Every structure is written in structure tokens, then in C-alpha cells.
Structure 1
Amino acid sequence: MAAHIKLITFVGELRKSIRNLALILALLTLVVFFLSPQLLQFVQQHLANKLYFFSVAGPFLAHVKLSLFAALYALMPWFATVLWRAMGKPFGVGPGQLFFFIFFTCLLFYVGTIFCYFITLPFGIKFLLGFGSEELKPVISIGKFVNFVTIFILAFGTIFELPIFMVFSAKVGVFSRTFFEKNRRYALLLIAILSALLTPTPDIVNMLLMGGPLYLLYESGIVILKVLRFKPADSSSPQA
């Protein structure tokens, strides 16, 4: 199957579920909005400072963003199912293999977000606020804080998917384990660039907090491929 036909098949499968996904996402965001004050208290646990707003619509928009984030977080298994079904059809991935990819995509995503919330995020906030002094007091807006937390958490959940996509690329014959092993230096460079782009602040500490785990995930992907022992023959028979 030619590459462009695979792409058309993927987009076609994806479009079948986009409307339903958007509708459910909007409805769930509306439901969560009424619980957003309690949700804000939960995400604010790592911040001892009070939050402020500098525009009339500031608090409302911040609660909408937080509600949308919570809805996306809750619907992650559905998003993963839609994505992998769309990717699996053009590459001939069987139902059993699809379950494997969907399950571990959700698992890695939630592990990444939990790791961020309980380990990386508190350290990052403490480090950044540590530059305050008697003359330099932090005044944090609710909008900036919600953006910082949600982007940071979602970014970590996304990058933790690296091993599963490495396995998928090897399974369908796009990249082999040898390719990943030979291109470690380029992977390290790309990880540094992604860390700079995905972290909400450009400081080196937040980049390392994201880049370090991402490189470890890259190496773990290589180890997983060694265990699974994918061979070049998989490219011709992806369902083997």
C-alpha cells in the first residue's frame, strides 16, 4: 500500500470519530466547569502563594481552560482508541495488537502526568519561585498559573508515549531497533529542542526535568525492542 493511500485511509478513519469526540469533549468540559473551583484548589497545592487576576474575564477563562484540560485528561482512553484504530487500519495491525498499543498508550500517558504532578512540577515551581526576595515578591495570575500547570502536565504525558511509538514504528517496518541505536546523538539533539519548545518556561532546569526522562524513555524503547526482537521481516508482514 502506497504511503499516500495509507495517509488517506488514516485521515478517513480519524474523521469518522472527530465529530463525536468534539461533542463529548465540549459537554464534559461544561460539566467539569461547575467543579473547576475544587479542581483549581487541587492543582494549586504545590503553590503556597495566592493567585491574582488582571482582567475582568481572567478567572472565567482560567476555569474554562482548566475544565478543558480535565476533560481531555479524562477522555484520554477514548482519544487513544480513536488514534490507534485509525493508525492500525492502513498498517494492518490486528485487534490484539491494537489493544496492546491502546493500553500502554494510556498507561504511559497517565504515568507521565502523575510523575510530572508529584515530582517534576513541585520542584520546578519551588526552583522558579526561589528567585524571589524581600524586594521581589511573586504576583502570579490565575491564567498564567493554569497555563503553566496544564501545558507542563500534558507535555509530560505526551513525551512519555515515546517507547510505544518506537515499538509501533519498528512493528510496521518504518524504523528498526538498529536505527534508534545508531542515531542516539541525533535523538539527544531532538530531545533538547523538544524540551525547549514544550516546557512553559525557557530555563535550563525545566528543560532538564523534561529532557532527562525523555532520553531515559528513548533508551527504554530500545531495550523493549531488544526484548521483543523485531526483525526487518516485520515490515513486510506487520501482523506477524
Structure 2
Amino acid sequence: MAKRNVNEMSFLDHLEDLRWHLIRATLGVLIAATLAFIFKTFIFDVIVLGPTSMQFPTYQWLCKMSKIVGVDTTFCAQEFPFIIQNRTVAGQFSAHIWTSIYAGLVIAFPYVLYQLWTFISPGMKTNERKNSRGFLVIASFLFFTGVLFGYYIVTPLSLNFLANYSVSAKISNEFDLSSVIAIVRSSALASGIVFELPIVIYFLTKVGIVTPKILRTYRKFALVIVLVLAAIITPPDIASQVIVAIPILILYQVSIYISAIVVRNQKKRQNPKT
């Protein structure tokens, strides 16, 4: 069946088209989630619980760096001073189900983005589709880069601090499984979303909501927001906050550059002789 012209489609036709794109995206996530569910041992022992072991690559690297500069740190400990427990009857099964779903979302992200793109792109002009040709690749790259940053940087820094923090020697840490999973999940997904900032700025500039001038004017405020955000999601030490803040600031600067390119291209199309 030939694809209908988007201009000839009614509102209900668009809703029907959107419904099928959402169905296909959901099926993609479910297939990926099923694979994650099957490979339970790898997902939990290697990925989810990986940052709870002092053999995790981030701890090993930070331990080497601390020895080079001659600083005592908890990154060189043999093991974490806590145990992980499951406190509810269906806790492990629920953790298995929901972790598989979130893993499916991460794995199938490019396919979900593709379904969204194939729904939106028919309504775009030919030159707009041409200029946005690398959207899927760039958006997926930024998302997975953010997920890896959250997993290898934010998660171990946060977990190490919280595991070694104590208000009294009389209290021992016995973390619930759902709490540990929540730290890994939120750190990875939040970072993945934050790393999409250049893509968001690109589209906001395209529709005229954001300009390079606005971004430069509020850069100081953005710096403060970034530092506050870094202080919230990382341990309260300067080194950890700087490690998290630097890539976000770089993304903001890249967003300004992207916004400037979009505005310049728009001016060239409006004044082709200039």
C-alpha cells in the first residue's frame, strides 16, 4: 500500500499513523526488554551491581590517581561497607521486571527515535529533512554517551560516598535492592537525557524560541544551575562536582555554537544574495 501524502491526511489519519508508530516503538522496547529479562545474570551481576564492587573500573582508576597525588581515599578499599538486601516477598521479581523494561528502553532508544522521526519527517520540507539527515545518529550517540557517563562517573561517585557516609558507628548500612537499582537507573537515564541538550537547543532555535544571544546572555545563570545540579547528584566534594559539571558546560557551549549555525543558515535562506 502506497504511503499517502501527508497534506491529504485528516486529523484522524494522523492519529492513526501516530498510533502505529507508537505500537512499533513499544514492540521494539518489549523485544529488547525480553532479551534483558532472559540475560538476567549479565544485567544484574555485571551491569546493575557492577558499581557495588571495588573492582569496578572507575574505582580502580581513581585509586591509581589518588596514589599518584598521595591522597588517602575510600576508592582503594577492598570492599564496600554494606550489604544489599531484599526486604519484600516480590522484591526480586519486581526488580527483574522493571530493570528489564528500563534496559529495553535504553537498548531500543535508537529505534524509538526512528519511529518518532518517521512520523515527524513527512511534514518537513525537503531541505529540512536533508539538513536533519544525521539526527538519529547524533541523538543516539549523545544519549548513549550520557548513559555511559552516568553509569561510569555519576553512579560510582554517588554510591561510594553514600556507602561510606555514616552519622554514627553504631549504625550499619544494609541497602535495599530497589534503592541500589534506583541510583544506577536514575544516574544513567538522567545523564542520557541531559546529554540531549544540543538536540533540544537545535529544535528550539529552529522554531525561534532560543537564539545564540539568549544563550550567551544567560550563560552565567546556566553555570550556576549546572554547579547546583552537580552538587545535587554527586558527593559534596569539589573534585566530583567538577567532573560532572565540565561535560555539561561543554554541552552548553556546543549548544550555543549549534544555535548560531541554525540562525546563520536561516538568514542565508532569507537573504540568498548576502
- Residue 43 of structure 2: aligned partner: 39
- Residue 55 of structure 1: aligned partner: 88
- Residue 62 of structure 2: aligned partner: none
Distance 1:150 1:107 in 2: 19
Residue 183 of structure 1 and its aligned partner are, at CA, apart by: 2.5
CA contact (8 A) 1:195 1:211 kept: yes
- Residue 101 of structure 2: aligned partner: 68
Instruction: Say which one has the larger Rg.
Output: 2
Question: 152, 173, 176: which is aligned to 1:141?
Answer: 176
CA contact (8 A) 2:29 2:104 kept: yes
Flag structure 2 segments of 5+ consecutive residues without an equivalent: 1-10, 54-81
- Quick check: 1:167 aligned with 2:172? no
Residue 75 of structure 1 and its aligned partner are, at CA, apart by: 0.5
The one-letter amino acid of 1:223's match is: Y
The one-letter amino acid of 2:165's match is: F
Distance 2:240 2:25 in 1: 32
Distance 1:80 1:189 in 2: 31
Q: CA separation of 1:24/1:202 partners in 2, compared to 1, >3 Å: closer, same or farther?
A: farther
Secondary structure of 2:49's counterpart equals: helix
Distance 1:10 1:216 in 2: 38
Q: CA separation of 1:77/1:193 partners in 2, compared to 1, >3 Å: closer, same or farther?
A: same
Distance 1:19 1:220 in 2: 34
CA contact (8 A) 1:177 1:225 kept: yes
- Quick check: 1:19 aligned with 2:23? yes
CA contact (8 A) 1:32 1:67 kept: yes
Distance 1:138 1:70 in 2: 27
Question: 119, 144, 152: which is aligned to 1:110?
Answer: 144
The one-letter amino acid of 1:216's match is: I
TM-score by length of 2: 0.68
- Count of residue pairs the alignment pairs up: 230
Question: 84, 87, 103: which is aligned to 2:117?
Answer: 84
CA contact (8 A) 1:84 1:98 kept: no
Distance 1:8 1:14 in 2: 10
Coordinate RMSD, CA, aligned: 3.7
- Quick check: 1:181 aligned with 2:185? no
Please give the per-residue CA displacement for 1:20-74, whole angstroms capped at 9, x wherever unaligned.
2223322332332121232111121211444210000000111112111211111
Distance 1:91 1:186 in 2: 34
Q: Which has the higher mean CA deviation after the structures are superposed, 145-154 or 186-195?
A: 186-195
CA contact (8 A) 2:211 2:263 kept: no
Q: CA separation of 1:131/1:196 partners in 2, compared to 1, >3 Å: closer, same or farther?
A: closer
CA contact (8 A) 1:191 1:211 kept: yes
- Residue 4 of structure 1: aligned partner: none
Q: Which has the higher mean CA deviation after the structures are superposed, 220-229 or 164-173?
A: 220-229
Question: 128, 135, 144: which is aligned to 2:162?
Answer: 128
Distance 2:26 2:190 in 1: 21
Secondary structure of 1:139's counterpart equals: strand
Q: CA separation of 1:173/1:16 partners in 2, compared to 1, >3 Å: closer, same or farther?
A: farther
The one-letter amino acid of 1:46's match is: P
CA contact (8 A) 1:10 1:90 kept: no
Please give the per-residue CA displacement for 1:51-107, whole angstroms capped at 9, x wherever unaligned.
210000000111112111211111011122223344444453644333311111000
Residue 214 of structure 1 and its aligned partner are, at CA, apart by: 2.6
Distance 1:151 1:235 in 2: 42
Flag structure 1 segments of 5+ consecutive residues without an equivalent: 1-6
